[in-house]
Amino acid sequence: MSSANRNTSNPQAGDEQPPAVSRHVGIAPMLTLIAVGVLLYAGGMYLDRHAGGFRANVYEPYRSLEYVESLQPQDKGDKLMAQGKQVYQTCSACHQASGEGMPGQFPPLKGSKWVLASGPDRIIRIVLNGLTGPIEVAGETWQGVPMPAIGSGFSNQEIAAVLTYIRQNEEWGHNATAVTPEEVAAVREKVSDRSAPWTAKELKKIPVGEEE
Amino acid sequence: MNSSESSQSSGHPEAEQARGQSPWSAADLDESCQMPVLYLFVSAGFWLVISSIFGLLATLKLHAPGLLADIPWFTYGRVWPVFWNALVYGFAVPGGIGVSLWLLARLTRQCLVLPWMIFMGALFWNVGILIGLLGILSGLTTGHAWLEMPHYTNVILFVCYAFMAIPAVMTFVWRNEEDPYPSIWFLFLALFWFPWAYAGACYLLNFVGLRGVMQAVADWWYIHNLGTIYFGLIGLAVLFYFAAKVAERPLYSRYQVMLILWLLALFGSWGDVPHGAPVPAWLPNLSAVTNLFVILVLLVLANVLHRTVSGHYGSFLKSVPYRFVLFGGVAFFVAGIVDFVTAIKPVSTIVELTEFTQAQSLLRVYGFFAMTLFGALYFIVPRLARMEWPFPRLISVHFWLAALGVVLYVVPLAISGIVQGGLLQQADVEFMQAVEPSLIYMRISTIGDVFFLLGHVVLFLNLGVLYYRYAFADWVATIVNSTQPTEAVEVGA
């Protein structure tokens, strides 16, 4: 009865025995296993959403690299280039990713005078309404296949982006000025009542700086 | 004593069987531990007094900043780390080793191997602590929380630890109990956990010199390893020992205890990175997730302890050492739940940079671990020294001082942290306005510090006098009695 009391400070307590342990298994290990499974799943989901992809450059309170990058202060041109690269995938079906076109069908954009002209007013029109009839590019005359009004459904931003991309593409050795959405908007305004594709003849009347 | 023994024998037949194998009686086992363990305890008690003097000074400075402010050695930035380092390395770690050694000998039924080696380790460990604390006071602190002592003391402490741990491992290897009581698993793991965490953190922080925010990450990792796992392992070993002993029943379910061990070891050390830390987002979030798993430890532990003790909780109140252990056990649960709750993001953002964290670490290190150790210490020492405590009544005085101290220290600081954190969240509240309300709570927590100090003085009085009687009384008596000329000549020669 009073054994606990005497345990306190009984100097003669030298012959105690070690306590024993039962070998019940019980239901707790099973439940714990299930709980660990559930927690691993829930924890995984949570980390998937909050841990920023385990990247070293995503900090709280942000959760993904994409979001963090979209918040970075960016050079406008860079952003247009990045977007332009996406939009160009529509053009590359014909003009090719290399910008070299297809012999006898699609003229090259790489090295094209109109693409590199100091003003973008002609190429904006081409993308908005398409192009037909003979045109001289890179010393060859192209005709037969017309270019459809591929950009009529694009936003001003997208057209500005793709044109900036073809004008500034370093891999093609291009380094012309960027095209702004405002410039595109201005041209779209002017040609709003036109639906027919342009001809090279008509376009030559549109001034693009020092070009012929 | 026989009554408890017989009721335990009826507890489990296997224990009965194992008993026959050991050539040693409990008295032999105690004798083997006597010299190093008593020394470890008395020096731990000494550092505890030192620690609480500095702790009191540090909290006083929070509301009386002018106090001793002109003496560089006693500025807040030095006094505060001395308080923690003396508490952790002066008291908690060696105290934990002392308890582990005794439990190890008792539960493996093997006499402690090489007690002299352990004693030497403990002796030089204390020298290391002295050098380290003086180092901090003289301004040589490293600035890493819980590792402020200058880097050369890391080497001293590590080597001394090896001196104490190697004989302990050998004792285990040469055990006479085939399948020792589960507490042993925890103690054995702890023997390796401390050097692993300590050496790892010291190497990275004080020798390689991590850069930038990685320092904080390594430091959090270390604090969590020491505070949650190392102290947790030893504290739980003690809890399991006493649970079965006090209830006079076999500990419920060996397998569930094993589960606790693995859950704690696997998931215990990931936590502690606060959400506001300037580190990649995955670190605090992973911390928070692993804290969920630590809740499982609490659940299984609650099951094990309850099934062992249910119906006998009253027995814990019968003697003061048991009361200490009970308090420690309850604090373990409270600390675990608090850790879990504060890892949740909205809570974390409020409390992370406030006194709340301080209340939290004290709850774990003192409320749980130190209190459990006190219980074990009051229980073990009279057996080892084979003497009654010199002032038995003071044991209960110490209990009340310590228990009230924990409450008076932890509760106000926690409230203060929540209030302050809430105010800090509001952009239109100025910083000083947010800090001011905590002043009253700091004053209350200082009372807690006073209680700690008094309690530790009381403990050291008991320990010191007992140790004097054990180690020096005979020796002094011989000198005093040696009035006869022949003996005097002998002494002189």
> Tens digit of pLDDT for each residue in A130-142?
999 899 888 888 8
8 Å CB contact of B253 and A56 = no
Residue B301 confidence (pLDDT): 95
How far, in Å, are A126, B187, B274, B279 from residue A68 at the CA level? Answer: 37, 47, 21, 15
How far, in Å, are B205, B359, B440 from residue B65 at the CA level? Answer: 31, 21, 15
Closest alpha carbon to B362 in B449, B437, B436, B440? B449
Determine the distance in angstroms separating the CA of B488 from the nearest CA of chain A, rounded to an integer.
35
A100 versus B275: which is more confidently predicted? Answer: A100
The secondary structure of chain A, three-state, reads: CCHHHHHCCCCCHHHCCCCCECCCCCCHHHHHHHHHHHHHHHHHHHHHHHCHHHCCCCECCCCCHHHHHHHCCCCHHHHHHHHHHHHHHHHHHHHCCCCCCECCCECCCCCCHHHHCCCCHHHHHHHHHCEECCEEECCEEECCCCECCCCCCCCHHHHHHHHHHHHHCHHHCCCCCCCCHHHHHHHHHHCCCCCCCEEHHHHCCCCCCCCC
Of the listed ranges A150-154, A164-168, B136-140, B464-468, the one predicted with least confidence: A150-154
Of A6, A47, A59, the CB nearest to B280: A59
Q: What is the mean pLDDT of each run of 10 residues along chain A (212 residues)?
A: 38 59 87 92 91 86 80 71 87 90 90 89 92 88 88 89 91 89 92 89 82 50
B378 versus A211: which is more confidently predicted? Answer: B378
Please report, for chain B, the start and end positions of each structural domain, with discontinuous segments joined by +: 24-180
Residue B493 confidence (pLDDT): 38
Of B1, B254, B289, the CB nearest to A16: B1
8 Å CB contact of B392 and A9 = yes
Q: How confident is the model at residue B21 (pLDDT cuts 50, 70, 90)?
A: low
- ipTM over 0.90? The verdict is no
Residue B488 confidence (pLDDT): 47
How many whole angstroms separate alpha carbon B50 and alpha carbon B130? Answer: 11
Q: Percent of chain B scored above 90 by pLDDT?
A: 68
Residues of B in contact with A28 (CB under 8 A): 253, 256, 259, 299-300, 303-304
How many whole angstroms separate alpha carbon B410 and alpha carbon B415? Answer: 9
Residues of B in contact with A57 (CB under 8 A): 280
Average per-residue pLDDT in chain B?
Answer: 89
Cis peptide before A197 (omega within 30 of 0): no
Decide the pairing of beta strands A198-199 and A131-132.
parallel
How many whole angstroms separate alpha carbon A106 and alpha carbon A97? Answer: 12
**Contact of B184 with B101, CB cutoff 8 Å:** no
8 Å CB contact of B5 and A51 = no
Chain A interface, mutation test: which of B22, B258, B319, most A Cβ atoms within 10 Å?
Answer: B319
Decide the pairing of beta strands A135-137 and A131-132.
unpaired
Of B19, B250, B276, the CB nearest to A19: B250
Average pLDDT over residues B352-358: 87
How far, in Å, are A35, B133, B188, B215, B362 from residue B205 at the CA level? Answer: 37, 18, 26, 6, 24
How many whole angstroms separate alpha carbon B302 and alpha carbon B306? Answer: 6
Cβ neighbours for B358, distance < 8 A, ≥ 6 positions apart: B413, B417
Residues of B in contact with A1 (CB under 8 A): 3
How many whole angstroms separate alpha carbon B285 and alpha carbon A61? Answer: 11
Average pLDDT over residues B138-147: 93
Over 80: is that where the pLDDT of B462 sits?
yes
**Contact of B78 with B141, CB cutoff 8 Å:** yes
> Tokens 């969590």 appear where?
B224
Tell whether B178 lies on the interface with A, counting CB pairs under 8 A. no
Over 90: is that where the pLDDT of B466 sits?
yes
Residue A108 confidence (pLDDT): 93
Indicate the pTM of the whole model: 0.73
Residue B3 confidence (pLDDT): 40
Residue B486 confidence (pLDDT): 52
Burial group, residue B464, by CB count within 10 angstroms (0-12, 13-18, 19+):
middle
Residue B16 confidence (pLDDT): 44
8 Å CB contact of A26 and B106 = no
CB contact residues (below 8 A), chain A span 16-45, against chain B = 16-26, 28-29, 32, 35-36, 39, 42-43
8 Å CB contact of B281 and A28 = no
Q: How confident is the model at residue B491 (pLDDT cuts 50, 70, 90)?
A: very low
CB contact residues (below 8 A), chain B span 249-278, against chain A = 250-257, 259, 263, 275-278
Residues of A in contact with B281 (CB under 8 A): 50-52, 58-63
Residues of B in contact with A16 (CB under 8 A): 1, 4-5, 26, 106
Of the listed ranges A1-5, B104-108, B249-253, B274-278, the one predicted with least confidence: A1-5
Residue B66 confidence (pLDDT): 86
8 Å CB contact of A22 and B253 = yes
Residues of B in contact with A8 (CB under 8 A): 319-321, 378-379, 382, 392, 395
8 Å CB contact of B379 and A7 = yes
Over 50: is that where the pLDDT of B13 sits?
no
pLDDT tens for each residue of A141-171: 888 889 999 888 899 999 999 999 999 988 8
Residue A15 confidence (pLDDT): 47
Which tokens go with B239?
A: 């809890």
Determine the distance in angstroms separating the CA of A79 from the nearest CA of chain B, rounded to an integer.
26
**Contact of B419 with B437, CB cutoff 8 Å:** yes
Q: How many beta-carbon pairs under 8 angstroms link A with B? A: 192
Residue B427 confidence (pLDDT): 84
A11, closest residue in chain B (CA to CA): B386
**Contact of A135 with A142, CB cutoff 8 Å:** yes
